[in-house]
Structure 1
Amino acid sequence: MKPHSLYLALALLLPILPVRAADEATLHALVTQAQAKLQHSSAQQAPLYQSSSWLLGLPSISISHLQGLDSQRSFEQELNLNLALKSPALHRLEAKLKPLDQQLTAQQQKLQQLYLSGLLRQYWWQQQLAQAELAQLQHRQQLLEQLVSHQQALHQSGEASSSQLLMVQRELLELQLSQLPLQQQLQTATDALQRLTGVAELPPLDESKRALPQDDGSQNPLFQLTSLQLQRQKLLGQSRADGVETPWTLSLNGKNTATIGMEEQAIGVALDIPLSIGSGLSQAEVGSLVEQELLLAQQQQQLLLQTKLTLAELRQQQLQLQQQQQLLQQSLTLNQQLTDALAATKQQGFAQYQAWLRSYIDTLATESRLQLTQLQQAELHSKQLQALGVSL
């Protein structure tokens, strides 16, 4: 029995197309869209706090009345308006803190963008790898279905045993089962991207042409945020030690004193200025300030170390994939040569046709592994960008 000529159409099965790269403006717009969707779905942010330009605290009023115990019924009444004023040193401190606070807000936004970029990269590459592998498995499934059809025809004509048919049917069933986790992975990634961006189809997120920053992660928004926090902490610690946060107290006083036959009123003003002599901190406060500064410095060191370790691991994985790609390329060349050699005899009988078809399936499988390896290398490049703190 001669095999059908369906193999002529099988050669038209398209390989996985290479992923196109998107420009940086498109990638940034995508992250901005995800960030806007996140802020819209979350609770409304509280308005930014505003500080007084000259008061350090709320004004206070003190009222006193003193009644004499003698028979002259003398009394004394006093009204004080107390204002806690910012000292000139505190004004200078706030002038230094204001740009730091603005930079902190900006770095928080960048850190959120980096976090969303990581999610988009993770799920998009998960989607691409699942689609690529599913496409190749479906190609292979089409070939196996044809092989099952031929085995069934041979079995019905008595030219092949039932065991051969059962083996091919079992192989087809295992192939179908292997697609289920990939389908679930694809659905999970697609749903996640839909929730993150609100759009059904995303632009390509391949960043393999994007150059890696030549640093050790010091431009990472988290590192920059920690640096700003450390600068701010040092400024606040020094100001507390110098007593800068202690206000100048301005008091406006009104006093009424009266005895029999005499009453006297007086008004006045008083200014209480603290003297910065030595340190105004207790040992417990000093220990707390030192602990906070050391904690922030330690976070910086740990972040840089973790970045270096992550980059080293990713580069090692990339090197292994490059070596794997070279070996797969050699294997693909051999499989193609074998398939071409068997093609000359595939019409001589079912055994020859089956040998050619098996070789063709192996060629597709090797080609699939090669293409997946290339995709994984591009994914590793995105992971390195993420580790270095580069947003989409």
Structure 2
Amino acid sequence: MLLLFLTGVSQATSLSVLYDNTTQRLKRVYDVNPEKLQNNADAINHWLQGPASLQLIALPSQEQGGTDEFEVGVFLPFRSLAARELDNQQLALTEAFDIARDKRFSLMTSGLVREALWRRLVARAQVDGLQAKQVWIESLDTLILQLQKTGELDQAAFLRWQQEKLTQQLALRKAHISLERAQLHYRRVMGTDELPEQTTEALSDRLDEKLQAHPELKLLLISQSQLDLNLTQSDQSLSPWTLGLIARQLRGPTGSENLVGVSINIPLSDGTPVSNYASWKEAHNTLNHALAETYTTLQLQLSEALQEVDYLSEALLVLEQQVNLGEEITALYQKQKDALPKTFWLEQLIAQQDLKLDFAMYKVRYAEAISKVNQVAGVTL
């Protein structure tokens, strides 16, 4: 099964195409449908609130010469203007919630894509760097053996070289295992082995503004608005009004009389029940706490991610200087190797290779850190 995942041929494609494909795939895998919710929007757009009712009344007189009364009424419950306005607010909140939910799903997918991509790229860079070092070790190994045979390389330096070869062997093996796992994870997330042509992202500007529009914060704000709307809708005066169309017939000894009229039933109340307000207050405080905690957490994560970018940027400059200085030191040691202990010369060669590997890895980590900043700020791919 593992071979099935890893035998695909890597091809070049765009990151946006991979993102779109992964989004559709995750919708199927996790049965997520971020399409617009259909909350019976048509129903609350009607004036009527509930079905009409029919009332039949027959009141025959029990006295001789009395009047019999018959009545037919149709009663229609309908929403008041205030309730209709709340319906419009509910529709707007539902739409805003759908948009924020879609953005949260997109951001979640972006996070999965970024994590899988950079896990694979970092592992690949580690393997490439160690393989380059392995080539260097193999090219130098013959010279080391010759120097050891001629007695120009002391036993301590030779043993140090053997130790370095074993360390390199384990490091390369571990790097290959990490790469295999990263490729498998990438395949499971992306559904393909393809890598994008362009993997790096530009650091987004106006990060504070983007953080303010983060989907998690938006959803909490919408929940607050929904909570406030629910409290307003609990006002009993918003109960449906009832319009009645009434036809009445009076039958007496002197003849019949037909009456037609209307009635309006308007609910009266003293506002929102106290119990509803208490529940609203508790839920409102909970949402306020969640909003403050989420915003603080996001700010902290963004600050840490930016600090990591700044550190890696500075580290790259320092490592580049170290690599350049290492080249000069190595050249000087090469000229003076006959006068210097071979251990110094060998240690410098090994240290220089390690610096080159660190420099290459820091380049990849720097690009990964920029991607993380964008993810924390709520920027989708």
Which category of TM-score, normalised to the shorter sequence, fits these structures? 0.7 to 0.9
- Distance change >3 Å, CA 257–CA 185, structure 1 → 2: farther
CA contact (8 A) 2:235 2:273 kept: no
Q: CA–CA distance in 2 between the matches of 1:256 and 1:193?
A: 81
Superposition CA RMSD, Å: 4.2
In structure 2, the residue matched to 1:137 is: 130
- Distance change >3 Å, CA 256–CA 170, structure 1 → 2: farther
- Distance change >3 Å, CA 28–CA 144, structure 1 → 2: closer
Instruction: Please give the residue correspondences for 1:247-326 in structure 2 after superposition, counting only pairs within 5 Å.
Output: 247-251=240-244, 270-275=263-268, 277-279=269-271, 281-326=272-317
Question: Structure 1 stretches of 5 or more lacking a match?
Answer: 1-21
- Distance change >3 Å, CA 247–CA 322, structure 1 → 2: same
Q: CA–CA distance in 2 between the matches of 1:320 and 1:303?
A: 26
Q: Deviations over 1:43-95 (max 9, x none)?
A: 37597232313266542657789999x999xx999887654322221111112
- Distance change >3 Å, CA 37–CA 78, structure 1 → 2: farther
Match of 1:39 among 14, 27, 34: 27
The alignment covers a number of residue pairs equal to: 359
Q: Which moved more, 1:175-184 or 1:208-217?
A: 208-217
- Distance change >3 Å, CA 243–CA 315, structure 1 → 2: same
- Distance change >3 Å, CA 80–CA 360, structure 1 → 2: farther
- Distance change >3 Å, CA 62–CA 175, structure 1 → 2: farther
Q: CA–CA distance in 2 between the matches of 1:137 and 1:200?
A: 23
In structure 1, the residue matched to 2:7 is: none
Q: CA–CA distance in 1 between the matches of 2:189 and 2:32?
A: 18
Question: Structure 2 stretches of 5 or more lacking a match?
Answer: 1-12
Q: Deviations over 1:251-298 (max 9, x none)?
A: 56788999xxx99999876432213x531x322211111222222232
- Distance change >3 Å, CA 43–CA 119, structure 1 → 2: closer
In structure 1, the residue matched to 2:3 is: none
Return the TM-score normalized by structure 2. 0.75
Q: Deviations over 1:146-194 (max 9, x none)?
A: 4555566777899989987665444323322223443333333333333
Matched, 1:389 2:378: yes
Q: CA–CA distance in 2 between the matches of 1:185 and 1:114?
A: 26
Seq. identity, %: 23
Code of the residue aligned with 2:39 in structure 1: it is Y
- Distance change >3 Å, CA 223–CA 44, structure 1 → 2: closer
Secondary structure at 1:278's aligned position in 2?
coil
Code of the residue aligned with 2:319 in structure 1: it is L
Match of 2:201 among 207, 214, 226: 207
Q: CA–CA distance in 2 between the matches of 1:292 and 1:79?
A: 47
Return the TM-score normalized by structure 1. 0.74
Code of the residue aligned with 1:320 in structure 2: it is Y
Secondary structure at 2:267's aligned position in 1?
coil
Report the Cα offset of residue 374 of structure 1.
Answer: 2.8
CA contact (8 A) 2:210 2:379 kept: no
Match of 2:169 among 166, 176, 184: 176
